[in-house]
Structures are given as C-alpha cells and as structure tokens.
Structure 1
Amino acid sequence: MEAGSLQIVINSIAILAFLGVVFGSGLAVASRKLKVESDPRIDEVEALLPGANCGGCGYPGCRGLAEAIVSGAAPVTACPVTKDYSSIAEVMGVEATSAAERMIAKVRCAGGKKEAQQRFIYLGVEDCSAAQNLGGGAKACAYGCLGLGNCAKVCPFEAITMSDNGLPIVDEEKCTGCGLCVKACPRHLIDLRCRLVRCCCTPLRDK
C-alpha cells in the first residue's frame, strides 16, 4: 500500500473515532439530562402482583396496574387475582380496604353432547368462533355452548377444563374473575358472578 493511501486510511479511522467519542459523549449527557425518574414503588408493587398480565383489572398488564396504583388512579385492591392486598398497602403507606366480593366465571349452559342434538358433524378448526361462523355451529340449540373450548384455551390460570360432555367446567378455587373467558365465548354464555350466591327463602303462610 502506498504511503498516500495508508495516510488516508489512518485519517479516516481517526475521524470516525473522534466522531464516535463526540456522539457518545452527547448521548451520555442527554441520557442524564432527559432521564425520567421512575418511582421505585412501581417495581415494588409490580413484584407483589401475580404477573399473569390477564387484564382483569382493566389495565395493560401488571406493570400498568402498578403504575396506576402508585399514581393513585387505582386502589390497592384493584387486582382481582392477588389475595395479599396488605403488602401492597404497606408499600403505598395506606390501609387496605376490603376488596370487592370475589367474582368467578359462570357458564350459562347445561346442554352438552348427551343432551343437545347435533345438526351435522363438525370437522373444522377446533375453535368456537370458527364453528359459529360456519352456519351457527353443529349444535341444534342456537344458544348453547359450542363445546370447542375457546374459554379454556384463553384462561391463563387453567381454571377451565372441558368435560367429556363437551361443556366447560370452572374450578372456583383457580378462577380469578379476570374475564378473558367472557370475551372469548362467541355466544356470550359466560359471565362473572359473585362467588357466594346468597338467597333468602321465606316460608309461605297459610292465609
């Protein structure tokens, strides 16, 4: 390599190194000047949440809920999954008020394969929405469960299983009331209800 060409290469490397130092220093200064301070309590609250990111609280994941709790936009009892509200309240320096009555998923259909007639044999995709779009599904009852388990597939807590009769079974101990199964059912057969259903029976009196 000629001396002139070698000098050009050396100069190019030197210029690139100089520019790298200048831009690197600029980014370092900018990162310090423009740094957004994050409340350390957000990380503490997030660590106390279950990490399921189910969205049952109405916020985009557990991080979003933690930010809302710290900012005061959501109460410390906003998570429908966790049961340890006292620890979150301790981080926030407040008292944990009683949480709302626990909600669980309820399936409003009792007509499985044994009870309901089938109009045809469905051999399509194992998806309730797909079956619903194909002539309303194979089940003769236009309002009954299609039995393909969309609700069980979306449950992040494995609280729903499909029975041999083609109906979803909700494990009340595992169900957190996140509501994902409610959104997944194309026939809107699942809703959230209070876990403890109270009723009052008054004896009839002879007139």
Structure 2
Amino acid sequence: MSAGIILGIIGTILGIVLAIASKIFHVEIDPRIEEVEEILPQANCGACGFAGCASYAEAVVKGNAEITDCTPGGEEVSNKIAEILGVEKESKDKKVAIIHCNANFNQMDKKFEYEGIDSCRGASLALGGDLICEYGCLGYYDCKESCPFDAIYISENRVPRIDEDKCTACGVCIEKCPKNLIDYKPYSKEVDVLCKSKEKGAEAKKKCETACIACSLCEKNCPVDAIHVKDNLAVIDYDKCISCGKCAEVCPTNAIEDKVLENTDLEKRDKPKIIDDKCVGCTICAKNCPVEAIEGEVKEVHKIDKSICVACGICVSKCPQDAIDWKHSKNKE
C-alpha cells in the first residue's frame, strides 16, 4: 500500500512538473506552415533548395524562401501560397533543365566497345566513356531513368531531350549525369547551345559533326551581345538573350538550337504586328526594340519593319496598350 501511494505521489509531482515545463518552453507554431504544406505537391524533390516540402513550408512562411521556389507546384501553388501569406506574387520565369549535346548517336565513332554496367556512370569509369568525343552524352540514359516527372525523352538521334512543359528543375538529372552536360536555363528562352566541347574547331568537328567549332559567327551576328565564345565554346547570356534566333541561323554545324523553327529560317518566323486602332504612338515599343525595327512619331501609329525585326517579342511585353499582336506563345505569355 505504502509503495503504491509513494509511486502515485511521485507520478503526480512529475505530471505537475511536465505540465509547468510545457507551458514555460512552449513554442508557438505558425498555423500557416501547415496550410502551406498541405497545398504542396509532396514530391520532396529538393528543387526548392530544402530537404523536403515540410522544410520549404516552414522556410517560406518565415520569409527564408521565395513563394515561387516550388517548381513542381508551378503557378497554381505559388498563387495559393501568396494568398495564404497575404503577399503579392512577383512574376518569375521558371527554370528548366537543358542537355548540352546534339550528337547523332547513329553516326558517332567510339573509342572501344563497352561491355560493362549499362549506365552512364558505369561507362564513364572506363576511360571517361566509350565515345570518341569526351564531352558528349554517353547515351545510357541515366537522366531519363532517374527523372521523377517523366520529363526526358529520346530524340530520333538517340540523344535525351527535355520536355520543358513537364520539367520542374528538381535537379535529379543534373546529379545523375557524370559528364556534367545538364544545367538550368529560363523556360521562356528559345535558343540554346547544344554542345559542351572545348576542343579547338577542327578537332571538335572531327569528333562530332554538330560540335561548336568556335567560329564566332554567332557572336558577330547577335544584335544584343548575348553570346560569346569562351574556351572554344559558344555560351549564351540568357539575361541578354532575346531568342531572336540569329545565332542559330548562322551556325554552320547546327550546334545552336532554335526551338521556334527547327530550320532556323528567320524569314519564316512569325513577326509581331501593330494593331492600328489600339496604338497611341507612345514610342515605348520603338525605344525598347534592340534592332531598331520600329518606326513612328509621337502620337502616331507605329510600324514594324519585318525585314529588320528578329521576332524577339520585347515590344509585345513592353506595350502598355496591348496593341501588338503576336502568335509566339512563350514570350507572349
């Protein structure tokens, strides 16, 4: 009896101590964290820069992450987060992955016949891979197999390609590629260099027909100084690039891709058109045109010279009257 009474007293005392401690050390949890976590896709992919959706939810509520950082959730999730937090969402061009290789595996020469593990990582351990071009995609598709969003497909040339509408920039494919051929680019940009070779021109061309040969024609023809040859490789500055396609048009090896037109024929590209009854002659479009293709006096309807226009879409985004019509979806959005 006495032992039971003593244990009961001890239990009561400990209970009181724990109750007091819980009050003293209680940490208030912001209920918005749970609300944000509930609307996240629960992919736990790490694209936001945090360990998982729970960590991101806490960080975004505390102001340590951007509301647009959840790329799998896209526009819908970022809008909901903005609503929960009571803030205004800034527009942000989403990131997508890009594979910098445009080789034709049906014609690529090999250094030797590889018979090891059927993976890029395994093949890369054998003298850097079996391809004669040490900068090229090995073609065992570790990136495709690892993509959790089925955003990588195989082209006719047997080279992996990114489906940009499905890509969430989670970074899994980047980690899986042993040749470091994959990185990020802005979704809205339509022109990309599909090569990573830093060999000198003649040697690069000998190993791959679609290699960048550092001829600098792209650099010389870019109207906005957005592409430069560095270490024998053309590199695009996406902050400057207007996706006009001129670099792709003059590239002799097709190392530069223009997604608007596969044949990179600038003359066939859809050009913007000014709607006469909407234009108020504010001159904003003309001032922002990088190639000076727009003419017109103040308070007069402006005109676009299609022979000069490179269809970059800047005038469309700058026009305050929505007076410029253009069918090109990505930049128009």
2:124 paired residue among 120, 132, 151: 132
Aligned pairs (5 A) from 1:39-188? 39-81=30-72, 82-84=74-76, 85-98=78-91, 100-162=92-154, 165-188=157-180
- Give, in angstroms, the shift of residue 11 of structure 1: 8.3
Q: Deviations over 1:68-114 (max 9, x none)?
A: 1111122222222222222111100111121x212221211122430
Please give the alpha-carbon distance, in whole angstroms, between the structure 2 residues aligned to 1:141 and 1:16: 78
Indicate conservation of the 8 Å contact 1:150/1:185, yes or no: yes
Q: What letter is aligned with 2:112?
A: F
Structure 2: any 5+ residue segments left out of the alignment? Answer: 191-242, 247-290, 292-306, 309-333
TM-score of the aligned structures, taking structure 1 as reference length: 0.78
Q: Deviations over 1:31-62 (max 9, x none)?
A: 44433221110111122222212222222222
- Give, in angstroms, the shift of residue 155 of structure 1: 1.9
Q: Aligned-residue CA RMSD in angstroms?
A: 2.8
TM-score of the aligned structures, taking structure 2 as reference length: 0.51
Identity rate of aligned residues, in percent? Answer: 41
Indicate conservation of the 8 Å contact 1:112/1:145, yes or no: no
Q: What letter is aligned with 1:61?
A: G
- Give, in angstroms, the shift of residue 18 of structure 1: 7.0
Q: What letter is aligned with 1:67?
A: E
1:199 paired residue among 244, 249, 256: 244
Q: Which segment is superposed worse, 192-201 or 133-142?
A: 192-201
Q: Which segment is superposed worse, 24-33 or 66-75?
A: 24-33
CA distance 1:11–1:116, change in 2 (3 Å): farther
Are residue 35 (structure 1) and residue 26 (structure 2) matched? Answer: yes
CA distance 1:167–1:16, change in 2 (3 Å): farther
Please give the alpha-carbon distance, in whole angstroms, between the structure 2 residues aligned to 1:190 and 1:53: 21
Q: Deviations over 1:141-169 (max 9, x none)?
A: 11110112221233221211345754212
- Give, in angstroms, the shift of residue 28 of structure 1: 5.2
The residue that corresponds to 1:3 in the other structure is none
Please give the alpha-carbon distance, in whole angstroms, between the structure 2 residues aligned to 1:12 and 1:126: 69
Indicate conservation of the 8 Å contact 1:108/1:190, yes or no: yes
Indicate conservation of the 8 Å contact 1:148/1:166, yes or no: no
Residues matched between the structures, number: 194
CA distance 1:105–1:27, change in 2 (3 Å): same
* Higher-Rg member (1/2): 1
CA distance 1:162–1:122, change in 2 (3 Å): farther
CA distance 1:35–1:139, change in 2 (3 Å): same
Secondary structure of the residue aligned to 2:58 is: helix
Q: Which segment is superposed worse, 105-114 or 39-48?
A: 105-114
Please give the alpha-carbon distance, in whole angstroms, between the structure 2 residues aligned to 1:103 and 1:176: 7
Indicate conservation of the 8 Å contact 1:45/1:91, yes or no: yes
CA distance 1:189–1:22, change in 2 (3 Å): same
Indicate conservation of the 8 Å contact 2:47/2:69, yes or no: no
Q: What letter is aligned with 1:92?
A: L
Structure 1: any 5+ residue segments left out of the alignment? Answer: 1-9
Please give the alpha-carbon distance, in whole angstroms, between the structure 2 residues aligned to 1:28 and 1:125: 59
Secondary structure of the residue aligned to 2:75 is: coil
Q: What letter is aligned with 2:172?
A: L
